[in-house]
A and B are shown apart, each in its own frame.
Chain A
Amino acid sequence: MSKVLNLKHDPAGRRRVPEKYTPISKTRVKKLLAQEWARFQSTTTNSATHNKRASKVLPLGVTSSFQHWNPYPISIVSAKGAYFKDVDGRKLLDLSMGFGAMMVGHLNKDVVKAVKKAMRSVGTLFVTPGPLATEAAERFQKRFDIDMLRFTNSGTESTMYAIRAARAATGKKAIIKIEGGYHGGYDPLQVSVKAPLEKIGSASAPKPYHPGAIEAGEVYVVSYNDTVRLEAIMKNHGKTIAAFMIEPIVENLSIILPDEGYLKAVRELCDKYKIALIFDEVKTGLTAGVAGAAIRVGVKPDLITLAKSIGGGLPLAAFGGKKEFMQPVVDGRMPHLGTYNGNPLVVAAAIAVDKIATPEALEKAEAINNATLDAIDKIIDEYALPAHTVGFGVKGAVIWSPTPVRNYRDFKATDFELAELSWLWGLNRGIITPPGLDEQWLVSFAHTQNDMNKLVRSFREFAKAIRG
């Protein structure tokens, strides 16, 4: 293990593990969990009532299964800047920010202005080309250094079409994905997302896990940060593999940073075995830096998928990449279709986001994120917590493990009870982080250091509470 722990991460990210730690009493965590769940239920009675009503029409009472947790999620009536108002009349600091989609802040005035203008004088849908969509595409082409791109309505569509483009361009069908990686709802990408450990074999040779309802085709899975297994798969099956789909920085298992040199090695292997490298930047994108994660880590993929942060909160996504990989869309080998693709409202928002997301604005948010991570590191040291922090761009996370997490198996070995308690603790104190324990916080353009201080204060109280 010592060899693994000594590995350096990509310098574009930030990770700090504690030098010393002592375990937290399991009994105490269980007691606090019971106490905090009771507090949750006593302060969110309107959310409970709302969930009962919603569950009669919407499965689980939510519009996306991610939104649900037991016994019921908090229901939100409005959002502005960095804050939510819930059905119980509470003002809550939103650190989830639509999984990154709200990077410019809720109801950002420039985005609202652009969309209002489009609604007033442009239109909502043409199903024809138009200069607004072209302008948005040109801006992203330049910003992300990609040859061509197409707009879609969601990350799922983008990853699906990126796979198809890769298949059409390479003439092969199979894919490789990262174990534990999430890339939306397309069937092959649903393999080994939240795979049960007892069904997936060893970490060095993970077995693909196919959930019941999907029809995935030929899918290989590999641990993140493992180039040995990756090369073995490519060597043995490269002739049938069209693409390797990977988040350059894994942001669906909290935040996992690439080892130093990992992504460059991945690039070389893909080149060697003529496999398309697809960077899923749905979650990273602008949150990772002014031109996304790919440029920040200095590795150019063949195809890239974008969503969330580029749309200012509107349903906008995109896929694009090198000319030869987008050529199948041009020559009809892989038609890309969609009534609402690049409609005037979403592209108006996208143009506004492109204007707002300046290097200065992103640097400012990243500085706030880093100061927040520094402050939390101090608390981790002070209370000798078995936890560490990871940050990339404007996102950050506390991981309840005293040692670095480099892949899905490491992530599964973190302390989920402490993670749940930490999340619930914040929730009961007016701080919403995403419902899944595998998510991270986001410092949007609307968050100030003073807003983030609330998270730090809450974390200090939490540290005190779990130490007893």
Chain B
Amino acid sequence: MNAPMRFGLIGTGRIGQVHASSVARTEGAELTMVADVFVEGAKKTAEQYGGVATAEAMDCFDSSKVDAIIVASPTPTHLDLISAAIDANIPILCEKPIDLDIKRVDAMRDKAAKATIPIVLGFNRRFDPHFNSVHQRVQAGEIGKLEQLVLISRDPAPASKEYLAVSGGIYRDMTIHDFDMGRFFVPNIVSVTANGFNQFSSEIKDLGDYDATSVTLRGANDELVLITNSRHAIYGFDQRMEAFGDKGMLRVENLTNTNVRLYNESSAEVKEPYQNFFLERYMDSYLLELAEFMKKVRGEASNSPEFEDGRAALVLANAALESSQTGKTVSVSL
């Protein structure tokens, strides 16, 4: 009966494709505008998923054409596009990170706080059914008072040197997801202690970045959030979580594509390799992230992370970098 929610997509790279596909697969949603400075990418995406292709992002900020915007363009464009969405009064779902420069984020903070549109940040892992289930069960008190949250995130292999050079470093590019996940469970973080390591990649070292890290976040009620990251893992995408409380523990293990086990002369109960990378592991979370965003746009109850969550993750990333460089614990005030 109701008209579908019309989406404008800005950016048609790898993550842009994920969002375009999510919109196309979601009932009550349609892609009506697709923008990319690389207009061929926009055209190809529009052909596959629908919408009008354009090279100009600002073409999407037209409420006669779209009801909501998804931003999947490079990080330096995010804040300007959020600002344009506020001006055009069109709800926006913006990929993480919000920006690499906290000064720029803070300059926008007041405008975002006064905005009347939903400004949602793409921390999709909150919507992963496994992590989300842990969150719900922690909230329901199944493990009593949450004392410790352990997050292990290891990528299968480092991204290209070109990407790493502009990524903002491991904390703002990779650990940012874990900072948000930490805050999903323990919103009020008061300090950050981090160690950066150069264990295997001279390329990453040459960029002045780390290829592995451990971060300890302290919550206002003395909760411990422990994050371990590596830019490589020989056995695939390693994404695990433990939530530990005084009445028990909840744990999420890695996923394989099927539940098939191999038994032979040299081993038993052998699983296939883990799902290779985020597109496989988190595909469902992108769909659920979109559904939650649509709820927010419709004015329904919604748990979508917002501008302040995007800012908080960046504050934690900056604090972690500072801690790695100085060897000191850094206090934060979110």
Contact = CB atoms under 8 A, between A and B. Distances in A.
Given A429-B116, A430-B89, A458-B116, A378 B300 contact: yes
A456 B116 contact: no
A456 B299 contact: yes
Nearest to B28: A449
Interface in B267-313: 296-301
Contacts, number: 51
Interface stretch (A147-155, A228-236, A261-269, A367-375): A367-375
Closest 6 CB pairs of A and B: A456-B299, A457-B299, A429-B116, A450-B67, A449-B2, A453-B298
9 contacts: A368-B2, A371-B2, A375-B300, A429-B116, A453-B297, A453-B298, A456-B300, A457-B297, A460-B299
Contacts of B118: 457
A459 interface: yes
Interface of B: 1-3, 5-6, 63, 67, 89, 116, 118, 296-301
Contacts of A368: 2
Interface of A: 91, 364, 367-368, 371, 375, 378-379, 382, 429-430, 448-450, 453-461
Given A382-B301, A458-B116, 10 more contacts: A364-B1, A368-B2, A371-B1, A375-B299, A379-B299, A430-B116, A453-B298, A453-B299, A455-B299, A460-B301
Contacts of A450: 3, 5-6, 67, 297
A378 B301 CA distance: 9
Contacts of B298: 375, 453, 456-457
Contacts of B63: 91
Contacts of A448: 3, 67
Contacts of A453: 67, 297-299
A459 B189 CA distance: 31
Contacts of A456: 298-300
Contacts of A461: 116
Contacts of A378: 300-301
Contacts of A367: 1-2
Contacts of A455: 299
B208 to A, nearest CB: 43
Contacts of B301: 378, 382, 460
Nearest to A83: B63
Nearest to A82: B63
B84 to A, nearest CB: 14
Contacts of B116: 429-430, 454, 457-458, 461
A91 B89 contact: yes
Nearest to A457: B299
Nearest to B64: A81
A429 B67 CA distance: 17
A457 B67 CA distance: 13
A456 B302 CA distance: 13
A272 B67 CA distance: 56
Contacts of B89: 91, 430, 454
A432 to B, nearest CB: 13
A453 B300 CA distance: 9
Name the residue among A382, A456, A457, A460 with the largest chain B CB count within 10 angstroms.
A457
A371 B6 CA distance: 18
A456 B5 CA distance: 15
Contacts of B297: 450, 453, 457
B20 to A, nearest CB: 20
Contacts of A382: 301
Contacts of A449: 2-3
Contacts of A429: 116
Nearest to A461: B116
B80 to A, nearest CB: 20
B199 to A, nearest CB: 46
A269 to B, nearest CB: 40
A90 to B, nearest CB: 9
B161 to A, nearest CB: 43
A372 to B, nearest CB: 9
